[in-house]
Amino acid sequence: MGKWLLYNFAVAFAIYWTGNIILWFPWSISTNLGIAMMLSVIPLLWAFGMYLCLIRYNGKNLLTGCALTALIMVISSVILDFVFFGLIREAWNDLYKPTTFYGYGFLAVLPFIEFFLLRKVISRKKRNILAKDFIPLGIMSMVSIIIQTIILVNL
């Protein structure tokens, strides 16, 4: 279970930073375009990440896995939003808007939506977590953080 929980945190971290990169350019053009992207494209990224977590859940009750995944994704997002928007960018005004809370709510229900829509697929695709499963997440996280750092340094 410990490896699975760590995998969930790694997925949340990778998706969060990759999502920031995906949103950065549209948001720099127009806030409305950024919000539109945040509400349309980014949910697909989170859905895929949660799917990866759920197919690797090895517990007896998949609904428990959904609840844990939701909890980890929401907590990770709250902490990373605070770090990125609050501490790094000092953009407190951008942090806690209604869309932010809608996003947290979406992350809280998304694993359950996937459970009800994809239960059979998730069961068929079950797999164990291997050490190599962390490599793409680490690469995605590092590349995203490097790009984000370059952008922030050059602002």
pLDDT tens by residue, 51-67: 999 999 998 999 999 99
pTM for this predicted structure = 0.90
Mean pLDDT of 35-40: 84
Mean pLDDT of 86-96: 82
pLDDT for 24 = 84
With a pLDDT cut of 70, the percent of the chain lying above it is: 100
pLDDT for 38 = 82
Q: Which two tokens stand for residue 25?
A: 């350019």
Summary mean pLDDT of the chain: 92
- Indicate the pLDDT class of residue 36, thresholds 50, 70 and 90: confident
Asked if pLDDT for residue 94 goes beyond 80, the answer is no
Q: Which residues contact 8 (CB under 8 A, 6 or more apart)?
A: 53, 68, 69, 72, 73
CA dist 68 and 82 (Å) reads 21
Asked if pLDDT for residue 47 goes beyond 90, the answer is yes
Q: Which residue has the higher pLDDT, 100 or 77?
A: 77
CA dist 86 and 68 (Å) reads 26
Closest residue by Cα to residue 8 from 145, 149, 129, 139: 129
Q: Is 15 helix (H, G, I), strand (E, B) or coil?
A: helix
